[in-house]
């Protein structure tokens, strides 16, 4: 499985305030422009960083979600979810 679309979204979110604002307003609509699988889209919308990490999404890029507080994530929630029991 390729995680190209997730990486593309995360790289852009690192520097694009307008994209982050769009995610805050309507996350589903904001993600439509990225080539994501249904599983990737669902994991992003749920803030399921553990699932994304297991799909192969780079850990450094994943931290963008917490730094930008996207999909309900905070740095604390990110850590909790990454260490959640399986």
pLDDT at position 1, please?
54
pTM: 0.93
Q: 3-state DSSP call for residue 85? A: coil
pLDDT exceeding 90 applies to what percent of the chain?
94
pLDDT tens digits for 53-62?
A: 999 999 999 9
Report yes or no: 53 and 62 within 8 Å, Cβ to Cβ. Answer: yes
Does 36 or 2 have the greater pLDDT score? 36
pLDDT tens digits for 59-83?
A: 999 999 999 999 999 999 999 999 9
- What's the average model confidence in pLDDT over 15-26? 98
Report yes or no: 82 and 50 within 8 Å, Cβ to Cβ. Answer: yes
HSE of 40 in the Cβ direction (CA atoms, 13 Å)? 20
């Amino acid at each position: 499985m390729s995680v190209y679309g997730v990486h593309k979204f995360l790289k852009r979110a690192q520097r694009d305030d307008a994209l982050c604002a769009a995610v805050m307003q309507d996350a589903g609509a904001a993600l439509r422009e990225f080539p994501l699988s249904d599983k990737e889209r669902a994991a992003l919308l749920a803030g399921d960083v553990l699932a994304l990490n297991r799909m192969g999404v780079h850990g450094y890029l994943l931290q963008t979600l917490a730094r930008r507080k996207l999909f309900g994530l905070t740095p604390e929630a990110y850590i909790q979810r990454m260490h959640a029991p399986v």
